[in-house]
Amino acid sequence: MFCNGQPADAATLGAALINYGHFTSLQVRGHAVQGLDLHLQRLAHATQALFGSMLDERQVQRWMAQALQHAGMADASLRVTVFSRAFDFRDPLSVVPVDVLVAVSAPVQLSASRAVCSVRYQRELPALKHVGTFGLFQQRREAMAAGFDDALFLNEEDQVSEGSTWNLALHDGQQLVWPQAAALRGTAEALLRQHWNGPQVVRAVAAAELDRIQAAFACNASGIWPLGAIDGRALAGSEPLAAQGRAVMAAVPWQPLQV
């Protein structure tokens, strides 16, 4: 882990435990990232929203590249967390400088099919990738205890929103459907929507419609995987739909980290 370009010490990590901040997770291959600009924009927007501060995106990019160099890795998973050692929960409106924590770990690529169950759950501030992840992981834990692989969220209006840590696309037999309900709009979703070669639409999806869906896949920066079943109903078309999504992403350019 590196904070502001330097190896993180215990004092720095202690400040990060306040649990107020935001992050982005991404995959690096050959010192390059798909949707790097989207990840940096996400960090800059959330920094302004949570701290009232401006984020130097170019500096963050340099710190990401430096962390990879220190780790001696060209392929990796990165988590970039923005927090502030100057943040005081007693005075949360104060504009404070922020700190950037970069964690480097082994690369991952998700592709295995998963069976999910729908649950009524809405994240706080769903448009921000904030560090309040307790509810997400607890919903996944409960889904697994019930015999599923993960949880699919429905909002208070019984509309499909997102998965625990992923977005999803559904196919109704005619077109790709992206649920419109409030959710964290991921970088993989944005790239797929931009490059998808075929009919697609963004609209509200009622939970009752899940019985008529023919195929679905989940996506995040770690990959695309088929949703083999939702609420126990098998989706035979999910494997080829996910393969189509992976083919789309394979053609998306990778942006170098080096500034």
With tokens 């798909």, the residue in question is: 34
- Where do you find CATH 3.30.470.10 in the chain? 2-105
Q: How far apart are the first and last CA of the chain?
A: 20
| Whole-number average pLDDT of the chain | 96
Q: How large is the C-alpha radius of gyration of the chain?
A: 19
Fold held by 2-105: D-amino Acid Aminotransferase; Chain A, domain 1 (3.30.470)
Taking the CA atoms of 10, 15, 18 and 20 in sequence, report the sign of the dihedral they define: negative
**pLDDT at 118 (0 to 100):** 98
Give CATH 3.20.10.10 domain extents, the chain.
114-250
Average pLDDT over residues 114-118: 98
Q: What pTM was computed for the model?
A: 0.94
According to the model, what pLDDT value does residue 14 have? 80
Q: What angle do CA 212, 214, 220 make, to 5 degrees?
A: 115
**Top-level class of domain 114-250:** alpha beta
